[in-house]
Amino acid sequence: MKSTFEVDSEKFNEFLKVNVELGTLHTKRYSLNIVFFIFTKTDRMFFGMYGKNKFEITETFGYFPNTYRISGDYKLKGNNQTEVSYEIKPLGFIYYWFKIMPLAMIPLFNLVFYFQVKSASYKDFVIANSIMICFVFFSCFYMWLKKRKLENIFKEVFEIEK
């Protein structure tokens, strides 16, 4: 998505310095590092890397990780105007974990349930699978909501208009 707004490149770079904690997206802030997050809290809204004209950031999460990142670049367009081109992309492992894991758990759970609980009735399978399907829908809704929230926070903090 491309946006043009009334801020020069220097000010946009200043927005990045103030709101982004520097670090690589692939080594920190995954769900496996949730314990370390408790001890390394930050007041900044975003986490990632930025350079002279490019940036790659994601939302700094509290207890639930974000599954998307924003990659983009910015350049001076004219009189006190900056053009920002950005794209929302999946955040690697954590994205696939939330996307595939709920679907993979259904057959795995059914196999374990079938072999471990020999006296289980058809009704028990229906109830268990209904709960897991609800979990799959919740996971899809969660990812959609996080993507939308990330874009809205990005536009609000960096004062980007459509």
For residue 154, what pLDDT is reported? 86
Question: Terminus-to-terminus CA distance in the chain, angstroms?
Answer: 9
For residue 130, what pLDDT is reported? 93
For residue 1, what pLDDT is reported? 64
Domain limits, the chain: 2-157
46-60 pLDDT, tens digit each: 888 888 888 888 887
Start-end of H helices in 3-121: 9-19, 34-39, 93-116
Q: What Å distances lie between residue 65 and 29, 58, 83, 144, CA to CA?
A: 7, 10, 29, 13
For residue 134, what pLDDT is reported? 92
Q: Which amino acid is at 156?
A: E
91-116 pLDDT, tens digit each: 877 788 888 888 888 888 888 888 88
133-150 pLDDT, tens digit each: 998 999 889 889 989 988
7-49 pLDDT, tens digit each: 667 777 888 888 887 777 665 544 445 555 555 556 777 888 8
Mean pLDDT of the chain: 79
